């Protein structure tokens, strides 16, 4: 978390240094001659191997060394890994360029046993010889989903460029992490993990060089597997990659069905399936930075209860630490015994407990985690071999090098000892881009210096003086031995919002184990920490699913951690954009994700917080959180906010079995829990830019108010029947295929419009104060009939916490011709029974009774629905119910 909002503009004070490309060009390198095939194209077991050489066209100077040193000889490896995935890697023949490591700390490349045959695969690779260009063709409709024809290929040690043609006004989604509308328009997306409070259109915490396109109702995707900084330019008719190192390592995806959901399955088949949360993780969470003492936390917990606003998990930020040092306690404000007692009290009431841990370790010889880390030699190094020492909350700090052989052992001990002592249920890892408040190793030789003034507390003149001194020291330190690249100031300056690549982070010249410059590995840092922290928690308790929430992430992080979208602001624009941010992470395979509800920075208002609580209650990860400089924003402070919170959170808790079933599907298949309308209805072009509504799964539609002063929502509804969640009335009955109906919905201040898709069967519970109490109630079924009086749904059940599930039930419900049938797997014997069933639809007015076995039960009629109550149907075997 960036605890204080500030703007710092880095100015190049040394002539000739390029710090920031503030007006990065959208153009391609038109003078680049590209490459040509040089020799024999070999057919391999996987596909093709193509040798390339620089196409100088007799002019040895034109197009050479544009932003780096031209690499003359390349190899293209084409591998048909599956029927729906094609791997195309363009690399240097000498294999000197850095690759994302094939390990859990980078990207574990799948072991392909059998490559897809020409007959079965849905992707084809076509190429030209001189200049070398290629197309990736989706075979089932002959569409070129990636086409580099007549566009330059540049391959230098510090600059790689490749472009593809796309249709005019293409439906492009992805590339991030960035605060921007969901559909990508003409702009530059910079990928370089950065500690920044969610500036619009700027690079922030994570690195996900992946996109999806929906074209003519069919979806395909492309991933550039690279840990290097880059600009990705989306402009009319073209996507251009400009990367400052590594190789061009692409994966292309084209599911035969063409559906975006199947594309998500294909993508996560490669990068890993999202983690499976426990029941408690799906409850409501609350935190803030700036609790004055532990009694403040206890007061918040108490007032939530008094206001009858459900609270599952209480969080504590770095406030609890002794001088903000990890694994310590402030003996006055947050004494250890009271912190331990808080966890026990929460657990006694069926609630949970999470605290923060940062990666930066205070450089203090009396601080045991620093002493142990130094003895094990686990810190990131300077180019001269000394420890790299930056500045974070406790002052001068060292940074664990996750790639060091001792780092896992070191971090695991610190984590396990701390969790055993405190009894928390999970950890929140922050500042792991990694963040640092100075430029370079500003703490070298200053061990035991203690707290330091924060960078933003200096005057502008002092900041400039400090920056000049830091920069001179950083340049004087120089490159690592033998390194020929300009790691501090690459000639192509990506559009990094911080300017210099080393601003607010570890210097690009610092070294990781194996003498790998931070320049090459920067974007992997938070991803690696998440993996190691998760495994430490598993080692600490092998029975339950670990909880780790991270700020910085990379491709594949979702299998280990959840994510919140960082230090947003209490502005209406951030409320509105939060939907796009969460939808992006669903697409990136991080399904357990959410934004800080009511905003982190700046002061919220009653109306803003009320509206934010309404939609935030349905984020896959749902938490209210703000900072120490902002006004209090607990939802019980305003009556309208409290009432809206009770309504929305109770609706979420009612839907917990539905949410949990979606998370199991996400964990097993890779589909999102939240889904943009265009991904469920790709044939509806009118939905292509809709990022102000969202589907939970395929059956629940949320249409929140996102603008100040509004009490209506202009909502879009795809074809079919959509029923109001609260009244069960049919809001829309649209039987027109591929046509969207726009409806103006009433939405007074405490109301969020929720709709159920006709044709869905939704498993629910009776909402209680905690998740455990909610789950202890009988199941209910809501059967929302479509135009054919049919519906179907699914329910997944296990114990809600086991890391290795021994027994579970996976039940399919179908309703047709007046009969409800339950079939599937019924292995979980402790499941609560079904207590009631509600049918929604016009035809329900004719129903009078439900026959269960030999027993007939009368139905209770309401407007547009009927209910049968007082049931006690076991969920340990199949059953039929006939409605007459």
Partners of 233 in beta bridges:
188, 240
Three-state DSSP class for residue 876: coil
**How far is the CA of 828 from the CAs of 427, 545, 877, in angstroms?**
30, 18, 10
Q: Is the backbone peptide bond immediately before 692 cis, with ω within 30 degrees of 0?
A: no
Going across the sheet that includes 674-675, the strands are 674-675, 694-696, 700-702, 754-757, 720-724, 730-734
Which one from 391, 430, 520, 634 is the annotated catalytic residue? Answer: 430
> Tokens representing 47?
């596909």
- What is the rounded CA–CA span in Å between residue 376 and residue 316? 30
Query: How far apart are alpha carbons 637 and 707 in whole angstroms?
Result: 21
Task: List residues bridging with 862 in a β-sheet.
Answer: 865
Concatenated DSSP letters of 525-556: HHHHHHHHHHHHHHHH-SSB---EEESS-BTT
Q: Which entry of 157, 425, 433, 529 is annotated as an active-site residue?
A: 433
**CB burial of residue 98 (10 Å; 0-12, 13-18, 19+):** middle
* Residue 742 zone, left/alpha/beta (φ > 0; ψ -120 to 50; rest): beta
- Burial (Cβ within 10 Å: 0-12, 13-18, ≥19) of residue 872: exposed
Judged on CB neighbours under 10 Å (0-12, 13-18, 19+), 821 is middle
For residue 131, whether the previous peptide bond is cis, meaning omega lies within 30 degrees of 0, is: yes
**Angle separating helix axes 639-654 and 656-668, nearest 10 degrees:** 60
CA distances 363 to 369, 397, 445, 513, Å, are: 9, 5, 10, 20
Structure tokens that stand for 257 in this block: 């069905």
Closest CA to 248 of 74, 429, 91: 91
SS3 string, 855-867, reads EEEECEEECCEEE
Q: Please give the full DSSP string across 412-472, using - where no structure is assigned.
A: HHHHHHHHHHH--SEEEE-STTT--SSSSSTTTT-TT------GGGS-HHHHHHHHHHHHH
C-alpha 45/C-alpha 117 separation (Å) is 10
Catalytic residue among 249, 387, 414, 567: 567
Which helix (H) or strand (E) element contains residue 822? strand 819-826
Are 263 and 100 spatial neighbours (Cβ–Cβ below 8 Å)?
Answer: no
Burial class, 461, CB count within 10 angstroms (exposed 0-12 / middle 13-18 / buried 19+): exposed
Phi/psi-derived region of residue 383, left when phi > 0, alpha when psi is between -120 and 50, beta in every other case: alpha
SS3 607: helix
Is 433 annotated as catalytic? Answer: yes
Cα–Cα dist 585/676, whole Å:
12
Token look-up 């959180």 returns 625
Residues forming a β-bridge with 781: 763, 837
Q: Phi/psi at 262 (nearest 5 deg)? A: -70, -30
> Residue 10 CA to chain centroid, in angstroms?
29
Tokens of 37: 């095939």
Question: Is 567 part of the annotated catalytic residue set?
Answer: yes
Catalytic, 23? Answer no
Query: What single-letter DSSP state applies at residue 323?
Result: G
Cβ 481 vs Cβ 461: under 8 Å: no
| Residue the block writes with tokens 């298949």 | 669
Q: How far apart are CA 819 and CA 813, in angstroms?
A: 10
- The answer to whether the CB of 837 falls within 8 A of the CB of 697 is no
Q: Which residues are catalytic?
A: 430, 433, 567
């Amino acid at each position: 978390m960036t605890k204080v909002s500030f703007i710092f503009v880095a100015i190049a004070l040394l002539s000739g240094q390029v710090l920031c490309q503030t007006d990065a060009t959208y153009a391609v390198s038109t003078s680049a001659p590209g490459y040509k095939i040089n020799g024999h194209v070999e057919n391999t077991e996987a596909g093709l191997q193509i040798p390339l050489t620089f196409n100088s066209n007799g002019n040895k100077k034109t197009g050479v060394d544009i932003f780096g040193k031209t690499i003359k000889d390349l190899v293209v490896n084409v591998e048909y890994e599956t029927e729906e995935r094609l791997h195309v890697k363009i690399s240097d023949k000498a294999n000197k360029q850095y690759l994302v490591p094939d390990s859990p700390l980078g990207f574990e490349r799948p072991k392909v046993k059998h490559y897809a045959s020409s007959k079965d695969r849905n992707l084809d690779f076509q190429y030209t010889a001189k200049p070398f260009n290629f197309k990736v063709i989706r075979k089932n409709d002959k569409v070129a989903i990636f086409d580099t024809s007549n566009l330059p290929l540049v391959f230098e040690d510090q600059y790689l460029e490749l472009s593809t043609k796309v249709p005019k006004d293409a439906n492009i989604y992805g590339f991030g992490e960035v605060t921007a509308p969901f559909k990508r328009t003409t702009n530059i997306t910079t990928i370089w993990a950065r500690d920044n409070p969610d500036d619009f259109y700027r690079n922030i915490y994570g690195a996900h060089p992946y996109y999806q396109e929906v074209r003519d109702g069919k979806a395909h995707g492309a991933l550039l597997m690279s840990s290097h900084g880059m600009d990705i330019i989306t402009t009319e008719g073209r996507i251009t990659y400009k990367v400052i190192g590594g190789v061009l390592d692409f994966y292309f995806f084209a599911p035969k069905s063409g559906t975006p959901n199947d594309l998500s399955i294909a993508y996560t088949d490669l990068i890993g399936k999202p983690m499976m949360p426990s029941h408690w993780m799906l409850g409501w969470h609350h935190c803030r930075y700036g609790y004055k003492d532990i009694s403040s936390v206890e007061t918040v917990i108490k007032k939530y209860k008094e206001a009858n606003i459900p609270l599952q998990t209480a969080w504590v930020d770095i406030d609890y630490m002794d001088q903000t040092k990890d694994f310590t306690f402030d003996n006055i404000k947050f004494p250890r015994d009271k912190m331990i007692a808080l966890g026990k009290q929460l657990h006694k009431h069926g609630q949970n407990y999470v605290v923060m841990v940062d990666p930066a370790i205070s450089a203090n010889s009396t601080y045991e985690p620093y002493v142990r880390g130094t003895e094990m030699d686990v810190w990131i190094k300077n180019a001269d071999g000394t420890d790299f020492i930056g500045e974070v909350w406790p002052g001068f700090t060292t940074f664990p090098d996750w790639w060091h052989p001792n780092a896992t052992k070191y971090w695991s001990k610190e984590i396990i000892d701390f969790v055993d002592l405190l009894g928390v249920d999970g950890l929140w890892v922050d500042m792991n881009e990694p963040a640092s408040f100075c430029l370079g190793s500003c703490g070298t030789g200053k061990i035991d210096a203690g707290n330091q003034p924060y960078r933003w507390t200096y005057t502008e003149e002092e900041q400039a003086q400090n920056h000049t001194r830091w920069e001179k020291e950083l340049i004087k330190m120089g490159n690592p031995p033998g390194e020929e690249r300009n790691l501090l100031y690459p000639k192509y300056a990506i559009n990094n919002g911080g300017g210099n690549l080393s601003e607010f982070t570890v210097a690009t010249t610092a070294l990781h184990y194996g003498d790998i410059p931070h320049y090459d590995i920067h974007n992997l840092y938070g991803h690696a920490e998440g993996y190691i922290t998760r495994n430490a928690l598993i080692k600490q308790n092998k029975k339950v699913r670990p909880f780790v929430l991270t700020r910085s992430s990379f491709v594949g992080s979702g299998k280990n951690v959840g994510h919140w979208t960082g230090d947003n602001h209490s502005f209406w624009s951030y409320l509105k954009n939060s939907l796009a941010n969460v939808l992006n992470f669903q697409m990136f395979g991080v399904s357990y994700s959410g934004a800080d509800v009511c905003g982190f920075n700046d002061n919220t208002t009653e109306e803003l917080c009320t509206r934010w609580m309404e939609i935030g209650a349905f984020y896959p990860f749902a938490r209210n959180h703000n900072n120490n400089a902002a006004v209090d924003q607990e939802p019980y402070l305003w009556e309208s906010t409290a009432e809206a919170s009770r309504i929305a959170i109770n609706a979420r808790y009612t839907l917990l079995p539905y949410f949990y079933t979606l998370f199991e599907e996400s964990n097993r298949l890779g589909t999102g829990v939240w889904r943009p309308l265009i991904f469920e209805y790709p044939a509806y072009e009118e939905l292509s830019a809709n990022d102000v509504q969202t589907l939970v799964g395929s059956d629940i539609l949320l249409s929140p108010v996102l603008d100040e002063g509004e009490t209506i929502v202009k909502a879009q509804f795809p074809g079919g029947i959509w029923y109001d969640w609260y009244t069960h009335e049919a809001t829309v009955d649209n039987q027109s295929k591929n046509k969207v109906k726009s409806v103006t919905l009433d939405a007074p201040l405490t109301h969020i419009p929720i709709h159920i898709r006709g044709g869905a069967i939704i498993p629910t519970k009776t909402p209680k104060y905690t998740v455990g109490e909610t789950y202890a109630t009988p199941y209910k079924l809501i059967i929302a009939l479509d135009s054919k009086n049919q519906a179907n749904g699914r329910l997944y059940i296990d114990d809600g916490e086991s890391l290795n599930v021994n027994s579970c039930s996976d039940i399919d419900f179908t309703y047709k011709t007046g009969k409800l049938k339950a079939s599937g797997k019924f292995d979980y014997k402790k499941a609560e029974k079904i207590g009631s069933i509600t049918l929604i639809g016009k035809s329900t007015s004719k129903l009078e009774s439900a026959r269960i076995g030999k027993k007939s039960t009368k139905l209770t009629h309401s407007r547009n629905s009927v209910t049968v109550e007082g049931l006690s149907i076991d969920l340990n075997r199949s059953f039929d119910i006939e409605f007459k």
